[in-house]
């Protein structure tokens, strides 16, 4: 596929995110709008839905859309629709950012098989701000677990494993600089009901 860009209402939009589910359905974000790519017909369908957040792969190979205000929707490709499945507490903004595009910099998410959302916040310049938090799907306040690797500034690459385990990477400096050590860590939650 080489789509390059999309046109909507006479404006050009560049794809910024793309993700697929286990069945090969592809969703993306272009100019803040959801789009669906149909590989069989090589067509792109641009949605009227604005997405100000992220795509997350989830349980059973499903694809989810997470909005900045904490709403989580499951993508239902058969209906070409998003179905609300959870409402998490709102996520912390970066108070130092005056540019709205960077308000959520340093945040990485993973949707656990339990329905909980794991948020990794990178301190970037301050290790004491680096922390993992667990968000319950009922909107209750998150549980802050602190920094999983002492002294790390960056927490990245979260992914769900089997059961209720989530894996992530941490580092003290930006990747690609010399021999920067990267640490693998895991988080396992017990006695949680699956979605």
Q: pLDDT tens for residues 30-87?
A: 777 777 877 778 777 777 777 777 888 887 788 888 888 899 998 887 777 889 999 9
Give the global pTM: 0.77
Q: What pLDDT, in 10s, does the model give residues 80-129? A: 788 999 999 988 766 565 655 555 667 888 998 888 999 998 887 777 88
Residue 48 tokens read as: 């009227």
Cα–Cα distance, 38 to 42 (Å, whole number):
6
Delimit the domains of the chain by residue range: 11-87, 100-188
CATH code, 11-87: 2.40.10
List strand residue ranges (DSSP E) for the chain, in order: 6-8, 11-13, 15-20, 26-30, 33-38, 43-50, 54-57, 63-66, 71-76, 81-87, 107-111, 117-121, 131-135, 143-146, 154-160, 165-171, 182-188
- Which residues are paired to 108 by β-bridges? 120
Residues of the chain with pLDDT > 90: what percent? 16
CA dihedral 128, 129, 132, 137 (to 10 degrees): 140
Task: Name the phi and psi angles at 127, rounded to 5.
Answer: -60, -30
Number of helical (H) and strand (E) elements in the chain, helices listed first: 0, 17
Cα(153)–Cα(175) distance, integer angstroms: 11
pLDDT surpasses 80 at 169: yes
- pLDDT for 8 beyond 80: no
């Amino acid at each position: 596929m080489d789509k390059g860009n999309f046109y909507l209402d006479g404006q050009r939009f560049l794809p910024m995110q793309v993700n697929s589910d286990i069945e090969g359905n592809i969703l993306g974000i272009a100019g803040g709008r959801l789009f669906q790519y149909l590989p069989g017909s090589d067509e792109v369908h641009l949605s009227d839905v604005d997405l100000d957040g992220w795509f997350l792969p989830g349980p059973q190979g499903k694809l989810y859309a997470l909005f900045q205000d904490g709403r989580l929707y499951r993508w239902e490709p058969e209906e070409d629709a998003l179905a609300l499945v959870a409402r998490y507490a709102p996520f912390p903004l970066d108070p130092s950012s005056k540019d709205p595009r960077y308000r959520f910099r340093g945040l990485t998410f993973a949707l656990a098989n339990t329905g909980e959302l794991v948020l990794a916040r990178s301190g970037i310049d301050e290790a004491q701000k680096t922390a993992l938090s667990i968000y319950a799907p009922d909107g209750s306040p998150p549980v802050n677990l602190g920094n999983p690797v002492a002294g790390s500034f960056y927490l990245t690459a979260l992914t769900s494993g089997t059961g209720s385990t989530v894996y992530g990477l941490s580092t003290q400096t930006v990747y690609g600089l010399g021999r920067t050590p990267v640490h693998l860590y895991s988080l396992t939650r017990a006695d949680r009901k699956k979605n």
